[in-house]
Amino acid sequence: MQRLLVTASAVGPNFGAVGGSGQMRAIVGALLTYGLIVAVLMLVVSATTWALASGSGAWHTAQKAKTGCFVAIGGAVLTGAALTWANWLLHLGAHL
C-alpha cells in the first residue's frame, strides 16, 4: 500500500490565473448599488403610504405599508451585508 504525502502549501487554487476580478468587483458593486437604491425608494414609498393611511384611518393599508417598511429595511441590510461579504471573498481569494 502506497501513501501519498501532500503538504498544505502545495495544494491550493491559483486565483492569479483567473482574470477579470476587477471587472467582477465593479459589476457586483454596481448591482448592489442598484439594490440599495431600490430598497431606499421602497422605504420612502412605504413610509409615506403608512403615514397617509394611518392619518385617514385605513388600518389595513397602514399595516401593509408597515410591513413594506420592514421588508425595505431588511433588504437594505442584506444588500449591504452582501457587498461586504463579496468584497471579503474577493480579498480572501487574492491571498490564497
Structural domain contains residue 66: yes
- Distance, in Å, from the CA atom of 35 to the CA atom of 37, rounded to the nearest integer, reads 5
- Distance, in Å, from the CA atom of 93 to the CA atom of 96, rounded to the nearest integer, reads 5
pTM: 0.66
Domain span at 60? 45-96
Structural domain contains residue 93: yes
Structural domain contains residue 21: no
Structural domain contains residue 23: no
Structural domain contains residue 30: no
Question: What is the grid cell recorded at 49?
Answer: 403610504
Nearest-5° Cα angle at 54, 50 to 55:
120
List pLDDT tens digits, range 13-54.
Answer: 454 555 676 777 778 778 888 988 999 999 999 999 999 999
Structural domain contains residue 6: no
Domains of the chain: total: 1
Question: What is the grid cell recorded at 10?
Answer: 502545495
List pLDDT tens digits, range 48-76.
Answer: 999 999 999 999 999 999 999 999 999 99
Structural domain contains residue 33: no
Structural domain contains residue 19: no
